[in-house]
Amino acid sequence: MYNRSSESRRSAKASKPGAKPVLETDMYLPAAPTVIVDRTVSSALAGLPVTSTHFAEIEAYVRKSVAEEIARRRVPEDDLRWPRMDVVVPAVEALRYSENREAFTSLIASTMDARIANVVLPAYVEMLKQVSKDEMRLLAAMPQLGRYTPIADIVHVLPNGQVITAYRHALPPELAATCSLASNIPQYVDNLVRLNLIARPLEQQAADVAYRAISQQDFVKRLMKAAPTKARSGMEKAVCGLTDLGDAFRRVCIGEVAVTPGKR
């Protein structure tokens, strides 16, 4: 409910000399977070026909999950904002089929939190549509911005110098373990690089000891032994880590994460 008396006091306070001006939208902003969430959801769902698949389920889920996320973050009342509809409407639409519901909830809540709302880009909705839950887990486990994790390609070098790549993007076991389908890791990394959420800088690598855990994995040992006759097996060492875009995307769509230490 609107608190008219508080609005009047707010307007009166703003009218005093030297007081901060109050926008008309500020004067009519409900104090209760649940009111903001309810009105946000109603506006976002207005573009969907009631006959849409799982309409009632989506409506109930968004109302409950966004309110819970706002409460979990302990967003101060003064930092609650009306969200951007260019983000919320397509986000709610995507919830009809996306497996990344928690990430979309975090995205919607971030648009309502003034402490991080300015970081949100409309492109994040499309990015979330193009990543799997495994990829989101992998992104969550990446080292903090500015630090890198070792990554390597398993190669066989023939006597004539030709290089055959047996496996791309081998990761340390603690990162690989975050994925439910480890066999998909090479394409996960390719996709995250394509979206510019992570980068694999050219001609940059960590200390040799950092690759020991990669080389000791059973599947890597098998690939090394499976080299063609007279070929020499080895690893093309590199590093990967978050981009600025990836760091912002992670903070907005994942929030608090447990990252791996990484290397500078």
Complete edge-to-edge strand list for the sheet that includes strand 149-157: 163-170, 149-157, 232-242, 198-199
Residue 221 and residue 242 in one domain: yes
8 in any annotated domain: no
Q: Is residue 22 part of a domain?
A: no
Q: What value, to the nearest 5°, has the Cα angle with vertex 90 and ends 88 and 95?
A: 95
**Which of 1-5, 168-172, 256-260 tops mean pLDDT?**
168-172
pLDDT confidence bin for 42, thresholds 50/70/90: low
This prediction's pTM: 0.78
When pLDDT is cut at 50, 70 and 90, the band that residue 39 belongs to is: low
Higher local confidence (pLDDT), 163 or 49: 163
Tokens describing residue 75? 């967003």
Of 70, 101, 129, which residue constitutes the final position of a domain?
A: 129
Domain that holds residue 190: 137-253
Q: Which of these three, 90, 109, 129, is where a domain ends?
A: 129
Residue 212 and residue 177 in one domain: yes
Q: How far apart are CA 55 and CA 204, in angstroms?
A: 49
Residue 45 lies in a domain: yes
On whether residue 18 sits in a domain, the answer given is no
> In this model, does residue 120 exceed pLDDT 60?
yes
Same domain as 87, residue 63: yes
Same domain, 161 and 215: yes
The reply to whether 94 falls in a domain is: yes
**Pair 141, 224 in one domain:** yes
Question: Where a domain ends, among 129, 153, 169?
Answer: 129
Q: Has residue 91 been placed in a domain?
A: yes
Tens-place pLDDT, residues 53-103: 566 777 788 888 888 888 888 888 888 888 788 898 889 888 888 899 999
Q: Name the strand (E) or helix (H) holding 171.
A: none
Closest CA to 223 of 161, 170, 162: 170
Do residues 116 and 193 both lie within one domain? no
Q: Is there a domain that residue 181 lies in?
A: yes
Burial category of 212 from C-beta neighbours within 10 Å (exposed 0-12, middle 13-18, buried 19 and up): exposed
Q: What confidence score (pLDDT) does residue 13 get?
A: 39
Q: What is the DSSP letter of 196?
A: T
Cβ(134)–Cβ(188) below 8 Å: yes
Lowest mean pLDDT among 4-8, 123-127, 220-224: 4-8
Total domains in the chain come to 2
Whether 169 and 236 share a structural domain: yes
Rounded CA-CA distance 55/93 in Å is 10
**What confidence score (pLDDT) does residue 145 get?**
95
Is residue 12, in this structure, part of any structural domain at all? Answer: no
Residue 79 DSSP one-character state = G
Are residues 141 and 118 part of one domain? Answer: no
Does 165 have pLDDT greater than 90? yes
Nearest C-alpha neighbor of 260 from the set 146, 141, 169, 89: 141
116 and 197 in a single domain? The answer is no
CATH of the domain at 156: 3.30.110
Both 145 and 101 in one domain: the answer is no
Residues 248 and 149 in one domain: yes
DSSP code for 187: H
CB of 108 within 8 A of CB of 224?
Answer: no
Confidence band (pLDDT; 50, 70, 90) for 27? Answer: very low
Nearest CA-CA partner of 251 in 63, 147, 103, 122: 103
Are 201 and 106 part of one and the same domain?
A: no
